[in-house]
Structure 1
Amino acid sequence: MRLTVLGGCGAWPAAGQACSGYLLEHEGFRLLVDPGYAVLPRLLELVEASQVDAVLVSHGHPDHCADLNPLLRARILAEEPAPPLPLYALPGSVDHVLALDSGPRMAKSFTSKDFEAGDSFDVGPFQVDSILLPHWVPNAGVRLTADGRTLAYTGDTGPTDALVELAGGADAFLAEASYPDRVPPESAQYLSSARQAAAYAARGGARRLLLTHLWPGVDPGEAVAVARGGYSGEVRVATGGLMIEL
């Protein structure tokens, strides 16, 4: 299983970067997780739009799904249109993005595969186990497992003991860490810090911690240093171009 980070900015893409976007590959199957702002150009540096086999969206905020629109356009408006793209998302969560284009042609560019947070299902070679996590909108944390290897991904989340279960024994815990240490009070129920991510990674026994969704302007070095204070395993920031074999 190979993870390639396409982007990891929170809220909006910093100069030269992209928001949340992760390409997960196994046995020739390519799963795009969270096509946020500016993810498509980074994806197209690696593969053609038609080579994506499925998309999984954690929640409906545009920094996690806005580039679904240009991805579908690139597939359906090509000289040889790609087949409908299986789209796994919480019910209604990406309707606002899909509404950017209308008409029968775009309607044929994807196949909806709605799921409820808490469901388990298969996407190609991956087993997906989902869990509802606290955020301003419904958000599904997911465990993606293939051949005994697991990537756990939070999407965006506030503090909850459910993260211990999500991180449990994962080969990599890809965890939202918008702030290094203290989350502003108005966001404390719905976003997390590097310190909190590290604590959940340690309690869950995750083998590797990848900090993502850092707010623009946050020092990645500070986030890593804070996380290392509460977690003894490998800690890295999920920046565009990072590739990890699980």
Structure 2
Amino acid sequence: MHRLTVTVLGTCGAWPEAGRAASGFLVEQDGFRLALDLGYGTLPRLLEHCGADELDAVVITHEHPDHCADLSALARARYFAEPRGSRLPLYCTPGVLDRVQAMEPTEDLAEVFAVHPLPAAEHRVGPFLLATASLPHHVPHAGVRLTAAGRTLAYSGDAGPGPALAELASDADLFIAGATLRGPDRDPFLLSAVEAGAWAARARARRLLLTHFWPGADRAGAAAEAGGPFPGELLTAEEGLVLPW
């Protein structure tokens, strides 16, 4: 029996409210550890579960700092480690490395990360098959689909609705979707809670985990809106939550 888990590191969009962190997840199968986005405040939470030198890969959906800022902290932890380990595989969209390197005037991130560009059709990342697709956002953005041991996790990141989203989340065992907007608010580059539910239903996802909440948002209200169109199991992400998938 394979053990697959996802640990929620952070749940806020834009900036983290008190006691929380921005977007980030730790995805594991049988000891292989993959970080999926590392926004503000996620590294300390990651380090509660594994050392910086124990991480096996990182996937970053896009260059906005609420999804990549703590990649800088991870880079420092690995750069100054003695002895420094091998370069960590980093799968990311254009702009991520430049954004993080701008915070590191003396340390070359190329000495820490082995970069693989996204979106791409497929990458084999340890036990995971990583598939990505371009999704609507203000900057280049890759939606993520991870498959291992016959199970699938999909992640919308911070993107808006688009046909590729249904394919990305098709029959997913767990679909992690942004719920940034509430009520009738719509934006071509962001998902609302009700849209997250509708796209999860369209994709026939088995479970839906809402995340990327605007600081101070009514999360229970967002879940109620998403549950209208989505008939399956629905959860709201909380820092520290661990789910099998």
Q: Which amino acid aligns with 1:28?
A: G
Question: What CA deviation, in whole Å up to 9, does each residue of 1:169-207 have, x standing for no partner?
Answer: 0000000110232335xxx11111110000011111100
Q: What SS class does the counterpart of residue 96 from structure 2 fall into?
A: coil
- Does the CA contact (< 8 Å) of 2:62 and 2:95 recur in 1? no
- Does the CA contact (< 8 Å) of 2:72 and 2:100 recur in 1? yes
2:56 to 53, 58, 63: 53
Measure how far apart 1:92 and its partner are.
Answer: 3.0
User: Which residue is 1:195 aligned to?
Assistant: 194
Partners of 1:92 and 1:164 in 2: how far apart? 26
Q: What SS class does the counterpart of residue 236 from structure 1 fall into?
A: strand
Question: What CA deviation, in whole Å up to 9, does each residue of 1:100-150 have, x standing for no partner?
Answer: 2244665411111223x2421111111011111000001110110001110
- Does the CA contact (< 8 Å) of 2:27 and 2:36 recur in 1? yes
Q: Which amino acid aligns with 1:25?
A: E
Measure how far apart 1:84 and its partner are.
Answer: 1.3
Partners of 2:74 and 2:163 in 1: how far apart? 35
User: Which residue is 2:131 aligned to?
Assistant: 129
Partners of 1:174 and 1:238 in 2: how far apart? 9
Partners of 1:130 and 1:105 in 2: how far apart? 27
1:163 to 165, 173, 188: 165
Partners of 1:221 and 1:16 in 2: how far apart? 18
The 3 A distance-change label for structure 1 pair 70 and 104 is closer
Q: What SS class does the counterpart of residue 34 from structure 1 fall into?
A: strand
Structure 2 residues not aligned, in runs of 5+: none
Question: What CA deviation, in whole Å up to 9, does each residue of 1:38-88 have, x standing for no partner?
Answer: 000111111111111111000110000000001111112123323211111
Partners of 1:240 and 1:81 in 2: how far apart? 30
The 3 A distance-change label for structure 1 pair 105 and 189 is closer
Partners of 1:91 and 1:11 in 2: how far apart? 20
Q: What SS class does the counterpart of residue 30 from structure 1 fall into?
A: strand
Q: Which amino acid aligns with 1:42?
A: R
- Does the CA contact (< 8 Å) of 2:101 and 2:108 recur in 1? no
**What is the percentage of aligned positions where both structures have the same residue?**
51
User: Which residue is 2:103 aligned to?
Assistant: 100
User: Which residue is 1:223 aligned to?
Assistant: 222
Structure 1 residues not aligned, in runs of 5+: none
Q: Relative to structure 2, which stretch is displaced further, 101-110 or 156-165?
A: 101-110
Q: What SS class does the counterpart of residue 14 from structure 1 fall into?
A: coil
Partners of 1:5 and 1:70 in 2: how far apart? 18
Alignment of 1:73 onto 2:80: no
Partners of 2:117 and 2:236 in 1: how far apart? 30
**How does 1:147-186 map onto structure 2 within 5 Å?**
147-183=149-185
Partners of 1:44 and 1:69 in 2: how far apart? 14
Partners of 2:159 and 2:184 in 1: how far apart? 14
**How does 1:86-97 map onto structure 2 within 5 Å?**
86-97=89-100
The 3 A distance-change label for structure 1 pair 95 and 106 is closer
Q: What SS class does the counterpart of residue 147 from structure 2 fall into?
A: strand
Runs of at least 4 residues of structure 1 off by over 3 A?
A: 102-107
- Does the CA contact (< 8 Å) of 1:7 and 1:20 recur in 2? yes
- Does the CA contact (< 8 Å) of 1:65 and 1:94 recur in 2? no
In the superposition, the TM-score normalised over structure 2's length comes to: 0.94
